[in-house]
Structure 1
Amino acid sequence: MKHLSIILLMIVLISCKSEAQQEETSKKFEVQKTESEWKAELTDEEYKILREAGTEPPFSSPLNDVKKPGTFVCAACGNPLYETKHKFDSGTGWPSFDRAIENSVAYSSDMKLGYERSELLCADCGGHLGHVFNDGPEETTGMRHCINGVALDFIPKDKS
């Protein structure tokens, strides 16, 4: 009987969903398109990253080297996400920022590697950008927004 009680308790705990999880999965983004519309508008690589939460190989993005003033926008919808002044070289091989433009990103949970990570999404279209970690520069926010370069387009300040 004791074993049955433990098993039932385990089943109940495993099957519970918190309200936060429900809220995350039901979020509606301002930019809504069908998967076929996204496939028609995005390159295969952009689609894999932004719509299927893929990851580009480290050190593959030309945006790693961008240092001139400007704004990094979502490659899918053009939402302004990051500014060069908040970019830093994390040594990880992906464009890294210590913060996003206010209200430009949404957060979700990602368990793909077997542990919880904080996923970053474009707040306008829900496109997967990357993840946020707490190992950024301590003299600023202490956060590292580790972003797939494929998910971004860069607009130099003199062109905006």
Structure 2
Amino acid sequence: MSRPLLAVAAVALLWSLVPVGAFGQAAPDPLVSIMPEAQAAAGVVDAFHAALDAGDTDAALALMAEDVMVLEEGAAERSRDEYASHHLGADAAYAAASVSTVTRRSGSAAGNTAWILTEGTTTGQAGNSATSRLTVETMVLARGSDGWRIKHIHWSSRAAPAA
């Protein structure tokens, strides 16, 4: 196994030991329903978010398949390289300037395909403005010889209701 893949495997393994939904802040008693066969895939999702939070874009990219499809804000990025050259930097900057809380998560797997569905809230800064968003995320992962890799991400959000 190459050195970068070994590092990714180590990060994924460590994150698989963190309770599911632990990226950002865990909400009190979040509703979590991850089937046992999808636990390792959920760990990769959490490792991806931790890498974004830390600004470690190389680690985030290493958890994505080369042919990943990212759907965000009505746009499509059809590869890891395209995502890296467009939204990755902004996504990492926003993750570092905000706090994400998981409010509900479910996941399952069939064979070498897993899906992790997450609902939550994000509060923080977007440019010069404070934001509070309700968020939903779908991640589809494929298991190969190098472990679980993210094949598809769909993010959407809307303004949170005023308190």
Larger radius of gyration: 1
Q: TM-score, normalised by structure 1?
A: 0.29
